[in-house]
Amino acid sequence: MLEKVYCIHDYWDMIPVSGVAEYKGGKYYFTFTFDRIKDEWSDEYDLKYLSDEIFELELENWRYWSHLQNAPFSRDVAERSA
């Protein structure tokens, strides 16, 4: 079953390592689990439930980061910083 991913904080080799996603109707912070015995990434994620308030802060942080990523290409940002 596919779940909605709201933002990805980190990735490795094109695989999301951490971020915020929905799982069975709840919002969670996820982290990909590293198997120290096999010395490789496992097939499992750890999930930490997010309250509505923290979830909204995560989305706000993601929007801010996305805006900054596009800032060098934005004429509006260049004009305001001149």
Q: How far apart are CA 46 and CA 31, in angstroms?
A: 5
**Phi and psi angles of residue 43, each rounded to the nearest 5 degrees, phi first:** -100, 15
pLDDT 10s digits, 26-81: 999 999 888 888 888 888 889 999 999 999 999 998 888 887 777 666 665 555 55
Give the confidence band of 15 by pLDDT, cuts at 50, 70, 90. Answer: confident
| Sign for the pseudo-dihedral over CA of 31, 37, 41, 44 | negative
Better pLDDT: 1 or 31: 31
What pTM, to 2 d.p., does this model score? 0.72
For residue 35, the model assigns a pLDDT of 83
Of residues 32, 51, 52, 50, the one with CA closest to residue 42: 32
b vs e for 12-28, b when ≥16 Cβ sit within 10 Å of the residue's Cβ? eeeebbbbbbeeeeebb
